A and B are shown apart, each in its own frame.
Chain A
Amino acid sequence: MRRDPEGAYEKLVARGADALGEVLFPVNDLGAPNWKESDVVGRLLSYTDELPLRMRRLVRLQYAAMQVFGGLLALRPWPFGRLAVKTRHAAFVRMRNSPVLALRLLSDALKASLQMMYFSDPAVQKVMGAFKPETRPDDPFQIEVREGVLEAHLEADRARGNAGAAPSAEVVSS
């Protein structure tokens, strides 16, 4: 579902997302995909394509604003993407801890949308260890399937001394 930016404004949005993506999901030796490997920018653009126009504009505006004004958080007159990654990291931390509510909310929103993209990458979910008990063959989003895990959890629960099966009458009722 990756997509390259089109037009000057979308490129600005993409540069903002790329600059923040490197701060949030940097190159690492932990085995976790970095921001480029999980293509958070391409998938953010593709995701926002699916949003209603107003929300699409709002999400993209946040990244454009970050790219244009983010440098000011580090007291530099340059675009956010031109700062060194360490400086960007420090600037974003300052933004998250800012006494100005609007800055905290913007940092929350930026982190949330980019983390949404990162966590919805099947490769990242693989690192988390995510799997499902059954397959969805027609879903482009494919995730590991493991059968019998729930049965194993029930057996382990019984082994801990729990009854394992509640009478049908014993359900929460108001």
Chain B
Amino acid sequence: MMKHFDDVRAGFDIDADVVVVGTGASGAVAAANFAAAGMRTVVLEAGPLIRPEDMTRDAPRFLARYFWEGGLRIGLGTAPVPSMQGRCVGGSTVSNSAIMLKLPDWVREEWRREDNIQWLADGSLDAAFERVFERTKTAPTPMVAMGRRNFFARDVLSDMGVPSKPLPRAVSGCDGCADCLVGCHDGRKQSVDRSYVPQAMIDGAEVYTCCHVCTVDMDGDRVTGVRGDIVEPRSREHVAKFRVRAPVVVLAAGVMSTPVILKHSRINPRGRVGATLNAHVSAGVFAVLDEQVDPWVGASQGWGAISTETRGLKYESLWADPSVMLVRWGGIGRHLLERLQDIRNMALVVMVYRGGITGKVGVGRDLRPRIKFHIPDDDARLMYRECHRVITSMQTLGARYAHVGNMPGVPEDIYTAEDAEGLLSNRLKGKHLTMTGNHVFGSCRMSSDPQRGPVDPDGRVHGTQGLYVVDTSIFPSPSAVNPQATCMALADVLTRRISDLGLAG
């Protein structure tokens, strides 16, 4: 059963065995597990359900409607870093490229060793990955869905000597429409609104949309439920209140919202909630070729590689609508208009590096997260060097010019090897990096040591009973790969353990 805005606009006060906050990658898995275990499961989602007929290729409008802060969320600090999170049933899985990669063994071992999460070694996470991959029909991107843009990324990586392959994605029969960002209209992408949420509802979960959780209620150290506001999906006007009483609350509101809810509820063991934040360092290189690439077709991210030289570095092809990807590109006036037709010859290779970005999440007005990132200069310089390598290969393969963003000493359009030399300058720092912070984690780290993180290895908030966190905020450190599969597998393991505890907390 799913309740929409018209069903809940008057507010409500209900009871449940367990309440799950959020229907993104981890919340949907949690809801499906609790419902399958026979618990009365209430799932609360701040955004609306997006039906296929609601999806539009008008990307700015889609972002404004279905992303937190209209898709304009920015982290401050070293440099402004855009950070986009979905605000709809399915969360960011509706609009990401559905890349599904297992947590690397070396990261898993680091988490086990440094944060004493011993169950990471017992095989349960591997079993969870298998279940998640099966449910989401994860498969390599088919060759026919690649398009020239993904093949060009393959050729660039090959020229660099980096072994690369089709990326495994949670898509069943991708048709290469490159519309991942604005929702998969024909349901091929197995975002959790199409996979886990329907299964949870079949097993009896009640999903309430347009319900923004603000506060976790506690009685001493024991959780008693959650409260929040009913939000009109378009205007975001708060029209009524709701309350759900439950002995178990599972927060899966995402890396930015979960710490806000906890802090607003004055639950902050040892001051660690939101005191940490990690993100992958990212950068991208656009190439403009002499041949037609037709970048608007082909899987959004069909091809990729994990570096064998630099641990924690990954390369991917990428595309999204030009109205989102190219807003800073192209200069102004006639210069910009002359180059509109260059876009049809464009390809993009992006790099994601585990690095050492740190940050924090505070609570702003209207319960908005206040986000800060610190980008280390050394990490940024590694990315500039990789950009230089990628550009060199792009030029070898006949790129007319390349573009990496606006930074001092580097021409906006890089035509020659000399133009690219500026990328190797030590003058460039973290503050010059043009990056997006969409792989973000660790705002409520999981650790057996409460000084290191506010969530224990069972997913329970230290010092509480019945209050759990299962989203990417519990990652003890960056995953080094796209986080979706890992956060789903972690949620799968943790919620099965919570069910086994018989709600004892």
Residues of A whose CB lies within 8 Å of any CB of B are: 1, 23-26, 28, 30, 32, 47, 50-56, 58-59, 89, 92-93, 96, 105, 108, 111-113, 115-120, 124-125, 127-134, 136, 138-141, 143, 149-151, 153-154, 156-157, 162, 164-166, 168, 170-174
- Let me know if A28 and B337 touch, CB within 8 A: yes
Out of A32, A54, A93, A113, which one reaches B366, CB within 8 Å? A54
A64: min CB distance to chain B, Å: 17
- Let me know if B72 and A51 touch, CB within 8 A: yes
Interface residues of B in 70-114 (CB under 8 A from A): 70, 72, 80, 101-105
* B344 CB-CB contact with A under 8 Å: yes
Question: With A52-B69, A136-B55, A153-B146 known to touch, is A112 a contact of B340 (CB < 8 Å)?
Answer: no
- Let me know if A154 and B72 touch, CB within 8 A: no
User: Which of A28, A51, A124 has the most C-beta atoms of chain B within 10 angstroms of its own C-beta?
Assistant: A51
Question: With A26-B334, A92-B332, A136-B57 known to touch, is A174 a contact of B343 (CB < 8 Å)?
Answer: no
- Let me know if B168 and A172 touch, CB within 8 A: yes
- Let me know if B337 and A153 touch, CB within 8 A: no
* B148 CB-CB contact with A under 8 Å: yes
> CB-nearest residue of chain A relative to B366?
A54
- Let me know if B327 and A112 touch, CB within 8 A: yes
- List residues of chain A with CB within 8 A of the CB of B143: 154, 164-166
- Let me know if A119 and B341 touch, CB within 8 A: no
- Let me know if A153 and B148 touch, CB within 8 A: yes
Which of B173-181, B387-395, B463-471, B492-500 makes up part of the contact surface? B173-181
Question: With A25-B337, A134-B175 known to touch, is A50 a contact of B70 (CB < 8 Å)?
Answer: yes
Nearest 10 interchain pairs by C-beta: A120-B323, A119-B323, A50-B64, A51-B70, A129-B344, A112-B327, A141-B58, A171-B140, A174-B104, A32-B337
- List residues of chain B with CB within 8 A of the CB of A173: 101-102, 168, 306
* B122 CB-CB contact with A under 8 Å: no
Question: With A25-B337, A50-B64, A119-B326 known to touch, is A171 a contact of B167 (CB < 8 Å)?
Answer: yes
The CA of A78 and the CA of B359, in the complex, are separated in Å by: 42
- Let me know if A154 and B144 touch, CB within 8 A: yes
Would you give 19 A-B contacts (Cβ < 8 Å), ordered by A?
A: A24-B333, A30-B334, A30-B340, A32-B340, A47-B60, A54-B365, A92-B332, A113-B327, A115-B327, A119-B323, A120-B321, A129-B294, A132-B296, A136-B185, A143-B57, A153-B298, A166-B140, A168-B139, A173-B168
Question: With A28-B334, A134-B175 known to touch, is A172 a contact of B55 (CB < 8 Å)?
Answer: no
- Let me know if B147 and A140 touch, CB within 8 A: no
- Let me know if B139 and A51 touch, CB within 8 A: no
* B328 CB-CB contact with A under 8 Å: yes
Question: With A112-B328, A150-B297, A171-B140 known to touch, is A124 a contact of B65 (CB < 8 Å)?
Answer: no
- List residues of chain B with CB within 8 A of the CB of A58: 72
* B304 CB-CB contact with A under 8 Å: yes
A127: min CB distance to chain B, Å: 5
- List residues of chain A with CB within 8 A of the CB of B306: 172-174
The CA of A111 and the CA of B330, in the complex, are separated in Å by: 10
- List residues of chain B with CB within 8 A of the CB of A134: 175, 177, 186
